[in-house]
A and B are shown apart, each in its own frame.
Chain A
Amino acid sequence: MTQAAFRAALTDAALPVPPGLTDGAGQPAGRRYAVYRNNVAVALSDALEQAFPVIRKLVGEAFFRAMAGVFVRAHPPHSPLMMFYGADFPGFLASFPPVTHLAYLPDVARLELALRHSYHAADATPIKPEALLALTPEALEATRLALAPSVQVLSSAFPILSIWRANTQGTPPPQAMTPESVLIARPALDPAPSALTDAEAGAIGALMSGVPLGQALDGVDAARVLGLLVSNNAITGFLQ
Protein backbone atom coordinates (compact mmCIF):
# COMPACT_ATOMS: atom_id res chain seq x y z
CA MET A 1 0.00 0.00 0.00
CA THR A 2 1.24 3.50 -0.76
CA GLN A 3 1.55 6.20 1.86
CA ALA A 4 -0.73 8.29 -0.37
CA ALA A 5 -3.54 5.78 0.24
CA PHE A 6 -2.81 5.57 3.96
CA ARG A 7 -2.67 9.35 4.24
CA ALA A 8 -5.81 10.10 2.19
CA ALA A 9 -8.11 8.17 4.53
CA LEU A 10 -6.46 9.62 7.64
CA THR A 11 -8.21 12.96 7.31
CA ASP A 12 -11.26 11.81 5.36
CA ALA A 13 -13.52 9.64 7.47
CA ALA A 14 -15.77 9.08 4.42
CA LEU A 15 -13.01 6.96 2.86
CA PRO A 16 -12.87 3.29 3.85
CA VAL A 17 -9.97 1.94 5.90
CA PRO A 18 -7.21 1.20 3.35
CA PRO A 19 -6.84 -2.47 2.40
CA GLY A 20 -3.89 -4.59 3.46
CA LEU A 21 -4.05 -3.61 7.13
CA THR A 22 -4.83 -6.20 9.80
CA ASP A 23 -4.88 -6.83 13.53
CA GLY A 24 -1.81 -9.04 13.16
CA ALA A 25 -3.97 -12.17 13.04
CA GLY A 26 -5.60 -11.70 9.66
CA GLN A 27 -8.67 -9.72 10.71
CA PRO A 28 -9.26 -6.29 9.09
CA ALA A 29 -7.68 -3.41 11.02
CA GLY A 30 -11.01 -1.56 11.45
CA ARG A 31 -10.87 0.83 14.36
CA ARG A 32 -7.17 0.15 14.81
CA TYR A 33 -6.70 2.42 11.78
CA ALA A 34 -9.00 4.92 13.48
CA VAL A 35 -6.37 5.29 16.22
CA TYR A 36 -4.14 7.01 13.64
CA ARG A 37 -7.07 9.11 12.37
CA ASN A 38 -7.75 10.24 15.91
CA ASN A 39 -4.06 10.85 16.70
CA VAL A 40 -3.63 13.11 13.67
CA ALA A 41 -6.82 15.08 14.32
CA VAL A 42 -6.04 15.53 18.02
CA ALA A 43 -2.36 16.38 17.52
CA LEU A 44 -3.11 19.05 14.92
CA SER A 45 -6.11 20.47 16.81
CA ASP A 46 -4.09 20.59 20.05
CA ALA A 47 -1.34 22.51 18.28
CA LEU A 48 -3.88 25.02 16.92
CA GLU A 49 -5.46 25.40 20.34
CA GLN A 50 -2.09 26.11 21.96
CA ALA A 51 -1.30 28.66 19.28
CA PHE A 52 -4.58 30.59 19.57
CA PRO A 53 -5.72 30.57 23.22
CA VAL A 54 -7.57 33.89 22.91
CA ILE A 55 -9.52 32.79 19.85
CA ARG A 56 -10.45 29.64 21.76
CA LYS A 57 -11.64 31.71 24.68
CA LEU A 58 -13.65 34.01 22.41
CA VAL A 59 -15.53 31.23 20.61
CA GLY A 60 -15.56 28.68 23.45
CA GLU A 61 -13.75 25.36 23.82
CA ALA A 62 -16.35 23.12 22.15
CA PHE A 63 -16.82 25.39 19.15
CA PHE A 64 -13.05 25.86 18.78
CA ARG A 65 -12.45 22.09 18.69
CA ALA A 66 -15.16 21.61 16.07
CA MET A 67 -13.79 24.50 13.99
CA ALA A 68 -10.21 23.22 14.41
CA GLY A 69 -11.36 19.87 13.00
CA VAL A 70 -12.46 21.65 9.82
CA PHE A 71 -9.34 23.81 9.64
CA VAL A 72 -6.73 21.08 10.15
CA ARG A 73 -8.23 18.97 7.34
CA ALA A 74 -8.16 21.87 4.90
CA HIS A 75 -4.87 23.39 6.08
CA PRO A 76 -2.47 20.73 7.38
CA PRO A 77 0.96 22.05 8.42
CA HIS A 78 3.60 22.29 5.71
CA SER A 79 6.48 22.03 8.16
CA PRO A 80 7.25 19.98 11.30
CA LEU A 81 7.72 23.27 13.21
CA MET A 82 4.37 23.24 14.96
CA MET A 83 5.30 26.43 16.82
CA PHE A 84 4.50 28.33 13.62
CA TYR A 85 1.39 26.35 12.65
CA GLY A 86 -1.69 28.39 11.84
CA ALA A 87 -0.45 31.07 9.43
CA ASP A 88 -3.60 30.32 7.39
CA PHE A 89 -5.89 30.53 10.41
CA PRO A 90 -6.69 34.28 10.24
CA GLY A 91 -7.73 33.93 6.60
CA PHE A 92 -9.80 30.88 7.48
CA LEU A 93 -11.56 32.78 10.26
CA ALA A 94 -12.43 35.54 7.79
CA SER A 95 -14.18 33.10 5.48
CA PHE A 96 -15.58 30.36 7.75
CA PRO A 97 -19.35 31.09 7.61
CA PRO A 98 -20.20 30.34 11.27
CA VAL A 99 -17.81 33.11 12.46
CA THR A 100 -17.77 35.68 9.66
CA HIS A 101 -20.05 37.91 11.80
CA LEU A 102 -17.20 38.10 14.36
CA ALA A 103 -15.19 40.34 12.07
CA TYR A 104 -12.49 41.05 14.68
CA LEU A 105 -11.44 37.38 15.01
CA PRO A 106 -8.95 37.34 12.07
CA ASP A 107 -6.98 40.30 13.44
CA VAL A 108 -6.98 38.91 16.99
CA ALA A 109 -5.57 35.69 15.48
CA ARG A 110 -2.92 37.76 13.66
CA LEU A 111 -1.96 39.30 17.01
CA GLU A 112 -1.59 35.84 18.57
CA LEU A 113 0.51 34.71 15.59
CA ALA A 114 2.72 37.79 15.86
CA LEU A 115 3.26 37.22 19.60
CA ARG A 116 4.28 33.63 18.88
CA HIS A 117 6.74 34.68 16.18
CA SER A 118 8.17 37.31 18.51
CA TYR A 119 8.59 34.69 21.26
CA HIS A 120 10.71 32.50 18.97
CA ALA A 121 12.59 35.33 17.20
CA ALA A 122 16.37 35.57 17.32
CA ASP A 123 18.05 37.14 20.34
CA ALA A 124 19.66 40.54 19.83
CA THR A 125 21.57 42.86 22.13
CA PRO A 126 19.81 46.22 22.59
CA ILE A 127 21.70 49.50 22.46
CA LYS A 128 22.10 51.44 25.67
CA PRO A 129 19.78 54.49 25.83
CA GLU A 130 22.87 56.71 26.12
CA ALA A 131 23.80 55.75 22.58
CA LEU A 132 20.78 57.69 21.27
CA LEU A 133 21.47 60.65 23.57
CA ALA A 134 25.07 60.79 22.38
CA LEU A 135 23.98 61.65 18.83
CA THR A 136 23.75 65.28 17.71
CA PRO A 137 20.23 66.32 16.65
CA GLU A 138 21.36 66.26 13.01
CA ALA A 139 22.86 62.78 13.34
CA LEU A 140 19.76 61.56 15.14
CA GLU A 141 17.53 62.84 12.31
CA ALA A 142 19.64 61.09 9.69
CA THR A 143 20.17 57.81 11.51
CA ARG A 144 18.42 54.64 10.51
CA LEU A 145 17.63 52.21 13.32
CA ALA A 146 18.16 48.46 13.43
CA LEU A 147 15.26 46.95 15.37
CA ALA A 148 15.27 43.56 17.12
CA PRO A 149 13.93 40.57 15.13
CA SER A 150 11.24 40.18 17.80
CA VAL A 151 9.70 43.58 16.93
CA GLN A 152 6.42 43.61 15.03
CA VAL A 153 3.70 46.18 14.37
CA LEU A 154 0.04 45.45 13.68
CA SER A 155 -2.83 47.75 12.81
CA SER A 156 -6.45 46.73 12.89
CA ALA A 157 -9.87 48.27 12.33
CA PHE A 158 -10.83 46.52 15.60
CA PRO A 159 -9.70 46.95 19.23
CA ILE A 160 -7.50 43.85 19.05
CA LEU A 161 -5.21 44.74 21.96
CA SER A 162 -8.14 45.55 24.25
CA ILE A 163 -9.77 42.25 23.28
CA TRP A 164 -6.49 40.36 23.81
CA ARG A 165 -5.94 41.97 27.23
CA ALA A 166 -9.52 41.38 28.33
CA ASN A 167 -9.06 37.68 27.58
CA THR A 168 -5.57 37.23 29.00
CA GLN A 169 -5.37 39.73 31.85
CA GLY A 170 -8.99 40.23 32.83
CA THR A 171 -9.12 43.92 31.91
CA PRO A 172 -12.57 45.31 30.99
CA PRO A 173 -13.62 44.45 27.44
CA PRO A 174 -13.67 47.30 24.91
CA GLN A 175 -16.89 49.31 24.80
CA ALA A 176 -16.70 50.18 21.11
CA MET A 177 -15.27 48.66 17.94
CA THR A 178 -12.56 51.31 17.54
CA PRO A 179 -9.36 50.71 15.55
CA GLU A 180 -6.20 49.80 17.47
CA SER A 181 -2.54 49.42 16.57
CA VAL A 182 -0.01 47.38 18.50
CA LEU A 183 3.76 47.28 18.98
CA ILE A 184 5.07 43.81 19.87
CA ALA A 185 8.56 43.68 21.31
CA ARG A 186 10.49 41.46 23.68
CA PRO A 187 11.90 43.50 26.59
CA ALA A 188 13.31 40.28 28.09
CA LEU A 189 12.29 36.75 27.12
CA ASP A 190 8.54 37.23 26.75
CA PRO A 191 6.87 39.35 24.07
CA ALA A 192 4.91 42.33 25.35
CA PRO A 193 2.30 44.25 23.33
CA SER A 194 1.95 48.04 23.66
CA ALA A 195 -0.81 50.28 22.31
CA LEU A 196 0.12 52.61 19.44
CA THR A 197 -1.77 55.24 17.54
CA ASP A 198 -2.23 54.50 13.86
CA ALA A 199 0.35 57.19 13.02
CA GLU A 200 2.86 55.72 15.49
CA ALA A 201 2.38 52.27 13.93
CA GLY A 202 3.12 53.81 10.54
CA ALA A 203 6.21 55.54 11.95
CA ILE A 204 7.64 52.34 13.45
CA GLY A 205 6.82 50.51 10.25
CA ALA A 206 8.86 53.15 8.39
CA LEU A 207 11.75 52.70 10.85
CA MET A 208 11.61 48.94 10.27
CA SER A 209 11.98 49.48 6.53
CA GLY A 210 15.04 51.68 7.03
CA VAL A 211 13.58 55.18 6.70
CA PRO A 212 15.79 57.73 8.52
CA LEU A 213 14.56 58.58 11.97
CA GLY A 214 13.74 62.23 11.30
CA GLN A 215 11.58 61.37 8.32
CA ALA A 216 9.96 58.31 9.89
CA LEU A 217 8.93 60.10 13.08
CA ASP A 218 7.68 63.26 11.36
CA GLY A 219 4.18 63.96 12.65
CA VAL A 220 4.28 61.74 15.74
CA ASP A 221 5.51 62.27 19.29
CA ALA A 222 9.10 61.23 18.60
CA ALA A 223 10.10 61.16 22.27
CA ARG A 224 7.23 58.80 23.12
CA VAL A 225 7.97 56.43 20.21
CA LEU A 226 11.71 56.32 20.94
CA GLY A 227 10.97 55.90 24.65
CA LEU A 228 8.69 52.96 23.90
CA LEU A 229 11.30 51.34 21.66
CA VAL A 230 14.13 51.88 24.16
CA SER A 231 12.16 50.66 27.18
CA ASN A 232 11.20 47.51 25.24
CA ASN A 233 14.85 46.81 24.31
CA ALA A 234 13.72 47.05 20.69
CA ILE A 235 16.61 49.07 19.21
CA THR A 236 19.70 46.98 18.48
CA GLY A 237 21.90 49.40 16.54
CA PHE A 238 22.29 52.08 13.90
CA LEU A 239 22.43 51.31 10.19
CA GLN A 240 24.77 53.41 8.11
Chain B
Amino acid sequence: MPDPHPLQHRLPARPGVGYKPQHLAGILSDPGPVAWLEIHAENYMGAGGRPHAQLRALSERFALSVHGVGLSIGGEGPLDAEHLARLKHLVGWLNPASFSEHLAWSTHDGAFLNDLLPLPYTDATVDRVAGHVDQVQTALGRQMLLENPSSYLAFTESTWSEPDFLAEIARRTGCGLLLDVNNVFISATNLGFTPQSYLDAFPLDLVGEIHLGGHEGDTDDLGAPLLIDSHGRAVADPVWALLDRVLAITGPLPCLVEWDNDIPEWPVLRAEAERAAAALGRLADRAAA
Protein backbone atom coordinates (compact mmCIF):
# COMPACT_ATOMS: atom_id res chain seq x y z
CA MET B 1 0.00 0.00 0.00
CA PRO B 2 1.51 3.39 -0.90
CA ASP B 3 2.18 5.69 2.03
CA PRO B 4 -0.55 8.35 1.90
CA HIS B 5 1.42 10.66 4.18
CA PRO B 6 5.05 10.78 3.02
CA LEU B 7 7.61 12.01 5.50
CA GLN B 8 7.79 15.60 4.32
CA HIS B 9 8.92 16.73 7.72
CA ARG B 10 11.77 15.25 9.68
CA LEU B 11 13.50 16.01 12.94
CA PRO B 12 17.30 15.97 12.87
CA ALA B 13 18.80 12.68 14.10
CA ARG B 14 20.32 14.54 17.03
CA PRO B 15 19.41 15.24 20.67
CA GLY B 16 16.35 17.25 21.61
CA VAL B 17 14.80 18.21 24.95
CA GLY B 18 11.29 18.84 26.19
CA TYR B 19 11.00 22.64 26.33
CA LYS B 20 10.28 24.28 29.68
CA PRO B 21 9.88 28.08 29.82
CA GLN B 22 12.30 28.34 32.78
CA HIS B 23 15.05 27.06 30.46
CA LEU B 24 14.51 29.67 27.74
CA ALA B 25 17.59 31.80 28.50
CA GLY B 26 19.82 28.73 28.95
CA ILE B 27 18.64 27.11 25.74
CA LEU B 28 19.25 30.26 23.73
CA SER B 29 22.67 31.08 25.23
CA ASP B 30 24.09 27.60 25.75
CA PRO B 31 22.16 24.89 23.90
CA GLY B 32 25.03 22.36 23.93
CA PRO B 33 24.16 19.54 21.51
CA VAL B 34 20.42 20.30 21.54
CA ALA B 35 19.21 20.57 17.93
CA TRP B 36 15.46 20.50 18.46
CA LEU B 37 12.76 21.04 21.06
CA GLU B 38 9.55 19.27 21.86
CA ILE B 39 6.59 21.31 23.02
CA HIS B 40 3.36 19.99 24.50
CA ALA B 41 0.69 21.12 22.06
CA GLU B 42 -1.92 21.94 24.70
CA ASN B 43 0.34 24.46 26.46
CA TYR B 44 0.35 26.64 23.34
CA MET B 45 -3.33 26.60 22.51
CA GLY B 46 -3.99 29.97 24.08
CA ALA B 47 -4.57 32.83 21.66
CA GLY B 48 -1.21 34.60 22.05
CA GLY B 49 0.94 36.31 24.66
CA ARG B 50 4.25 35.19 26.09
CA PRO B 51 3.94 31.46 25.24
CA HIS B 52 3.50 32.26 21.54
CA ALA B 53 6.28 34.89 21.64
CA GLN B 54 8.65 32.26 23.07
CA LEU B 55 7.73 29.78 20.34
CA ARG B 56 8.36 32.38 17.65
CA ALA B 57 11.85 33.03 19.09
CA LEU B 58 12.66 29.35 19.48
CA SER B 59 11.40 28.34 16.05
CA GLU B 60 14.01 30.62 14.47
CA ARG B 61 16.81 28.61 16.10
CA PHE B 62 15.52 25.08 16.61
CA ALA B 63 13.50 22.44 14.83
CA LEU B 64 10.26 21.84 16.74
CA SER B 65 8.30 18.73 17.55
CA VAL B 66 4.68 19.22 18.59
CA HIS B 67 3.72 16.50 21.06
CA GLY B 68 0.05 16.20 21.94
CA VAL B 69 -0.96 15.07 25.42
CA GLY B 70 -4.72 15.61 25.26
CA LEU B 71 -6.17 14.15 22.07
CA SER B 72 -7.29 10.89 23.73
CA ILE B 73 -6.61 8.84 20.60
CA GLY B 74 -7.53 5.65 22.45
CA GLY B 75 -10.83 7.07 23.73
CA GLU B 76 -14.02 5.07 23.18
CA GLY B 77 -15.86 8.18 22.09
CA PRO B 78 -15.21 10.21 18.94
CA LEU B 79 -12.20 12.53 18.87
CA ASP B 80 -12.93 16.02 20.20
CA ALA B 81 -13.50 17.93 16.94
CA GLU B 82 -12.82 21.27 18.61
CA HIS B 83 -9.54 20.03 19.98
CA LEU B 84 -8.52 18.56 16.64
CA ALA B 85 -9.26 21.93 15.03
CA ARG B 86 -7.05 23.67 17.63
CA LEU B 87 -4.30 21.18 16.86
CA LYS B 88 -4.65 21.80 13.14
CA HIS B 89 -4.34 25.51 13.77
CA LEU B 90 -1.19 25.11 15.90
CA VAL B 91 0.48 22.69 13.47
CA GLY B 92 -0.47 24.95 10.56
CA TRP B 93 1.09 27.94 12.33
CA LEU B 94 4.33 26.28 13.47
CA ASN B 95 4.79 23.79 10.60
CA PRO B 96 6.83 21.65 13.02
CA ALA B 97 9.25 18.93 11.94
CA SER B 98 7.10 16.33 13.69
CA PHE B 99 3.74 15.75 15.34
CA SER B 100 3.29 12.91 17.81
CA GLU B 101 0.67 11.63 20.27
CA HIS B 102 0.15 8.71 22.65
CA LEU B 103 -1.41 5.29 22.50
CA ALA B 104 -3.66 6.16 25.44
CA TRP B 105 -6.93 7.80 26.40
CA SER B 106 -7.49 10.76 28.70
CA THR B 107 -11.03 11.98 28.07
CA HIS B 108 -14.24 10.19 28.98
CA ASP B 109 -17.77 11.52 28.73
CA GLY B 110 -16.52 15.10 28.39
CA ALA B 111 -14.20 14.95 31.41
CA PHE B 112 -10.47 15.38 30.75
CA LEU B 113 -8.50 13.37 33.31
CA ASN B 114 -5.03 14.85 32.57
CA ASP B 115 -3.32 11.44 32.53
CA LEU B 116 -2.43 8.86 29.88
CA LEU B 117 -4.73 5.92 30.61
CA PRO B 118 -4.18 2.34 29.38
CA LEU B 119 -5.94 0.36 26.67
CA PRO B 120 -6.76 -3.31 26.23
CA TYR B 121 -5.15 -4.61 23.05
CA THR B 122 -8.12 -6.15 21.24
CA ASP B 123 -9.38 -6.19 17.64
CA ALA B 124 -11.96 -3.56 18.60
CA THR B 125 -9.22 -1.29 20.00
CA VAL B 126 -7.14 -1.71 16.83
CA ASP B 127 -10.11 -0.61 14.73
CA ARG B 128 -10.87 2.38 16.94
CA VAL B 129 -7.29 3.63 17.32
CA ALA B 130 -6.55 3.16 13.62
CA GLY B 131 -9.67 5.16 12.79
CA HIS B 132 -8.62 7.97 15.11
CA VAL B 133 -5.03 8.06 13.83
CA ASP B 134 -6.37 8.18 10.29
CA GLN B 135 -8.67 11.06 11.24
CA VAL B 136 -5.79 13.00 12.83
CA GLN B 137 -3.47 12.49 9.84
CA THR B 138 -6.21 13.54 7.44
CA ALA B 139 -7.05 16.64 9.49
CA LEU B 140 -3.40 17.67 9.84
CA GLY B 141 -2.44 16.64 6.31
CA ARG B 142 0.69 14.92 7.54
CA GLN B 143 2.02 11.73 9.04
CA MET B 144 2.02 11.45 12.83
CA LEU B 145 4.10 9.36 15.21
CA LEU B 146 2.29 7.22 17.81
CA GLU B 147 4.08 6.60 21.12
CA ASN B 148 4.18 3.37 23.13
CA PRO B 149 2.83 3.84 26.68
CA SER B 150 4.29 3.03 30.09
CA SER B 151 2.15 0.32 31.70
CA TYR B 152 1.42 -0.50 35.33
CA LEU B 153 -1.13 -3.23 34.66
CA ALA B 154 -2.42 -5.55 31.94
CA PHE B 155 -5.94 -6.29 30.66
CA THR B 156 -7.10 -9.92 30.71
CA GLU B 157 -9.08 -9.22 27.51
CA SER B 158 -5.96 -8.26 25.50
CA THR B 159 -5.30 -10.53 22.51
CA TRP B 160 -2.50 -8.53 20.87
CA SER B 161 1.01 -7.87 22.15
CA GLU B 162 1.84 -4.19 22.31
CA PRO B 163 4.52 -4.29 19.56
CA ASP B 164 2.15 -6.18 17.24
CA PHE B 165 -0.66 -3.77 18.09
CA LEU B 166 1.46 -0.73 17.24
CA ALA B 167 2.77 -2.38 14.06
CA GLU B 168 -0.80 -3.06 12.96
CA ILE B 169 -1.87 0.56 13.59
CA ALA B 170 1.12 1.76 11.57
CA ARG B 171 0.38 -0.73 8.77
CA ARG B 172 -3.24 0.38 8.52
CA THR B 173 -2.70 4.13 8.81
CA GLY B 174 0.82 4.76 7.50
CA CYS B 175 1.70 6.49 10.78
CA GLY B 176 5.21 6.26 12.18
CA LEU B 177 6.08 5.23 15.73
CA LEU B 178 7.70 7.08 18.60
CA LEU B 179 9.64 4.59 20.70
CA ASP B 180 9.96 5.63 24.34
CA VAL B 181 12.72 3.37 25.66
CA ASN B 182 12.03 4.45 29.24
CA ASN B 183 8.44 3.27 28.76
CA VAL B 184 9.72 -0.05 27.39
CA PHE B 185 11.90 -0.49 30.48
CA ILE B 186 9.05 0.48 32.84
CA SER B 187 6.46 -1.78 31.18
CA ALA B 188 8.91 -4.70 30.98
CA THR B 189 9.76 -4.40 34.68
CA ASN B 190 6.14 -3.91 35.73
CA LEU B 191 4.61 -6.67 33.61
CA GLY B 192 7.41 -9.23 33.79
CA PHE B 193 8.92 -9.42 30.33
CA THR B 194 12.38 -8.47 29.10
CA PRO B 195 12.97 -5.19 27.27
CA GLN B 196 14.91 -7.17 24.66
CA SER B 197 11.91 -9.38 23.85
CA TYR B 198 9.84 -6.23 23.35
CA LEU B 199 12.46 -4.67 21.06
CA ASP B 200 12.82 -7.94 19.13
CA ALA B 201 9.09 -7.81 18.34
CA PHE B 202 8.91 -4.06 17.74
CA PRO B 203 8.82 -2.74 14.15
CA LEU B 204 11.97 -0.66 14.61
CA ASP B 205 12.00 0.31 10.93
CA LEU B 206 8.92 2.47 11.60
CA VAL B 207 10.48 4.43 14.47
CA GLY B 208 10.88 8.13 13.68
CA GLU B 209 11.91 9.32 17.14
CA ILE B 210 13.14 8.08 20.52
CA HIS B 211 11.98 9.34 23.93
CA LEU B 212 14.08 9.06 27.09
CA GLY B 213 12.95 10.03 30.58
CA GLY B 214 13.41 9.29 34.26
CA HIS B 215 11.34 6.95 36.42
CA GLU B 216 10.83 6.23 40.13
CA GLY B 217 10.88 2.87 41.91
CA ASP B 218 7.97 1.49 43.96
CA THR B 219 6.53 -1.95 44.72
CA ASP B 220 3.14 -3.57 44.17
CA ASP B 221 0.92 -5.43 46.70
CA LEU B 222 3.11 -8.54 46.39
CA GLY B 223 6.38 -6.66 46.81
CA ALA B 224 7.22 -6.90 43.11
CA PRO B 225 9.01 -3.89 41.60
CA LEU B 226 6.67 -1.27 40.20
CA LEU B 227 8.33 1.53 38.26
CA ILE B 228 6.52 4.86 37.91
CA ASP B 229 6.94 7.01 34.80
CA SER B 230 7.62 10.27 36.63
CA HIS B 231 9.82 12.25 34.18
CA GLY B 232 11.17 13.74 37.40
CA ARG B 233 14.83 12.69 37.41
CA ALA B 234 17.77 11.72 35.22
CA VAL B 235 17.41 8.88 32.73
CA ALA B 236 18.40 5.56 34.37
CA ASP B 237 21.49 3.66 33.18
CA PRO B 238 19.60 0.59 31.89
CA VAL B 239 17.46 2.93 29.78
CA TRP B 240 20.59 4.46 28.21
CA ALA B 241 21.75 0.89 27.51
CA LEU B 242 18.45 0.22 25.72
CA LEU B 243 19.00 3.33 23.63
CA ASP B 244 22.36 1.94 22.47
CA ARG B 245 20.73 -1.34 21.52
CA VAL B 246 17.97 0.36 19.54
CA LEU B 247 20.31 2.76 17.73
CA ALA B 248 22.64 -0.12 16.80
CA ILE B 249 19.73 -1.55 14.78
CA THR B 250 18.01 1.60 13.52
CA GLY B 251 20.95 3.89 12.95
CA PRO B 252 20.81 7.52 14.15
CA LEU B 253 17.39 8.84 15.21
CA PRO B 254 16.13 12.03 16.88
CA CYS B 255 16.53 11.37 20.64
CA LEU B 256 14.49 13.41 23.11
CA VAL B 257 15.10 13.77 26.85
CA GLU B 258 11.92 14.57 28.81
CA TRP B 259 12.01 16.12 32.29
CA ASP B 260 8.55 17.38 33.31
CA ASN B 261 8.54 17.27 37.12
CA ASP B 262 11.07 18.52 39.70
CA ILE B 263 12.53 20.38 36.74
CA PRO B 264 16.27 20.98 37.20
CA GLU B 265 18.46 23.89 36.21
CA TRP B 266 19.26 24.03 32.51
CA PRO B 267 22.84 22.61 32.76
CA VAL B 268 21.48 19.39 34.32
CA LEU B 269 19.08 18.80 31.41
CA ARG B 270 21.74 19.85 28.90
CA ALA B 271 24.03 17.17 30.41
CA GLU B 272 21.34 14.58 29.66
CA ALA B 273 21.23 15.81 26.07
CA GLU B 274 25.04 15.44 25.98
CA ARG B 275 24.64 11.83 27.04
CA ALA B 276 22.23 11.28 24.13
CA ALA B 277 24.74 13.03 21.85
CA ALA B 278 27.43 10.65 23.08
CA ALA B 279 25.25 7.64 22.22
CA LEU B 280 24.68 9.01 18.72
CA GLY B 281 28.39 9.80 18.47
CA ARG B 282 29.43 6.23 19.37
CA LEU B 283 27.18 5.05 16.57
CA ALA B 284 28.86 7.36 14.07
CA ASP B 285 32.30 6.16 15.28
CA ARG B 286 31.29 2.53 14.78
CA ALA B 287 29.98 3.32 11.30
CA ALA B 288 33.27 4.99 10.43
CA ALA B 289 35.40 2.16 11.84
CA distance A157 to B139 in the complex (A): 48
Instruction: Assess the B191–A77 pair: CB atoms within 8 A.
Output: no
Q: A118 — nearest CB in chain B belongs to which residue? A: B49
Pairs A–B under 8 Å by Cβ, sample size 12: A1-B120, A4-B76, A7-B111, A22-B155, A23-B153, A24-B153, A24-B190, A24-B192, A35-B228, A40-B113, A79-B112, A120-B51
State which of A26-34, A100-108, A223-231 sits at the interface with chain B: A26-34
B70 cross-chain contacts in A, Cβ below 8 A: 80-81
Known: A39-B115, A76-B113. A122 touches B220 (CB 8 A): no
B221 cross-chain contacts in A, Cβ below 8 A: 27-28, 30-31
Task: Count chain B residues whose beta carbon lies closer than 8 angstroms to a beta carbon of A.
Answer: 51
Quick check: is B109 within 8 A (CB to CB) of the other chain? Answer: yes
What is the minimal beta-carbon distance from B165 to any residue of chain A, in angstroms? 15
Instruction: Assess the B48–A121 pair: CB atoms within 8 A.
Output: yes
Chain A contacts to B: CB under 8 angstroms: 1-4, 6-7, 10, 20-25, 27-33, 35-36, 39-40, 43-44, 47, 76-83, 118-123, 149-150, 186, 189-190
B18 cross-chain contacts in A, Cβ below 8 A: none
Q: A122 — nearest CB in chain B belongs to which residue? A: B47
Q: A27 — nearest CB in chain B belongs to which residue? A: B222
Q: A22 — nearest CB in chain B belongs to which residue? A: B154
Instruction: Assess the A82–B42 pair: CB atoms within 8 A.
Output: yes
Q: Interface digits, B22-58 against A, CB 8 Å rule (1 contact, 0 not)?
A: 0000000000000000000011011111111100000
What is the minimal beta-carbon distance from A189 to any residue of chain B, in angstroms? 4
Known: A82-B114, A120-B47, A186-B49. A33 touches B107 (CB 8 A): no
What is the minimal beta-carbon distance from A7 to any residue of chain B, in angstroms? 4
- Give the residue among A32, A47, A80, A119 with the most B Cβ atoms within 10 A: A80
- Give the residue among A3, A77, A122, A190 with the most B Cβ atoms within 10 A: A3
CA distance A190 to B21 in the complex (A): 14
B278 cross-chain contacts in A, Cβ below 8 A: none
B222 cross-chain contacts in A, Cβ below 8 A: 23, 27
Q: B72 — nearest CB in chain A belongs to which residue? A: A80
Quick check: is B157 within 8 A (CB to CB) of the other chain? Answer: yes
A150 cross-chain contacts in B, Cβ below 8 A: 49
CA distance A78 to B228 in the complex (A): 26
Q: Interface digits, B114-157 against A, CB 8 Å rule (1 contact, 0 not)?
A: 11011010000000000000000000000000000000111111
Known: A29-B153, A190-B50. A81 touches B42 (CB 8 A): yes
B110 cross-chain contacts in A, Cβ below 8 A: 78
A39 cross-chain contacts in B, Cβ below 8 A: 115
Apart from the given pairs A31-B226, A77-B114, 4 other A-B contacts in the complex at a CB distance below 8 Å:
A20-B157, A39-B115, A78-B112, A189-B49
Instruction: Assess the B153–A43 pair: CB atoms within 8 A.
Output: no
A20 cross-chain contacts in B, Cβ below 8 A: 120, 155-157
B89 cross-chain contacts in A, Cβ below 8 A: none
Instruction: Assess the B52–A80 pair: CB atoms within 8 A.
Output: no
Q: A39 — nearest CB in chain B belongs to which residue? A: B115
CA distance A18 to B46 in the complex (A): 37
Instruction: Assess the A7–B83 pair: CB atoms within 8 A.
Output: no
Q: Which of B52, B111, B115 is close to A36, meaning CB atoms less than 8 Å apart?
A: B115
Top 9 closest pairs, chain A to chain B, by CB: A80-B70, A120-B46, A24-B191, A122-B47, A123-B48, A43-B114, A76-B111, A30-B221, A29-B153
Instruction: Assess the B108–A7 pair: CB atoms within 8 A.
Output: yes
What is the minimal beta-carbon distance from B265 to any residue of chain A, in angstroms? 20
A44 cross-chain contacts in B, Cβ below 8 A: 113-114
A83 cross-chain contacts in B, Cβ below 8 A: 42-43, 45-46
Q: Which of B180-221 contact A (CB under 8 A)?
A: 190-193, 218, 220-221
What is the minimal beta-carbon distance from B79 to any residue of chain A, in angstroms? 11
Instruction: Assess the A189–B154 pair: CB atoms within 8 A.
Output: no
Known: A78-B112, A80-B83, A80-B107. A23 touches B45 (CB 8 A): no
Quick check: is B224 within 8 A (CB to CB) of the other chain? Answer: yes
Instruction: Assess the A6–B117 pair: CB atoms within 8 A.
Output: yes
B47 cross-chain contacts in A, Cβ below 8 A: 120-123, 149
What is the minimal beta-carbon distance from A76 to any residue of chain B, in angstroms? 4
Instruction: Assess the B115–A43 pair: CB atoms within 8 A.
Output: yes
B153 cross-chain contacts in A, Cβ below 8 A: 21-24, 29, 32-33
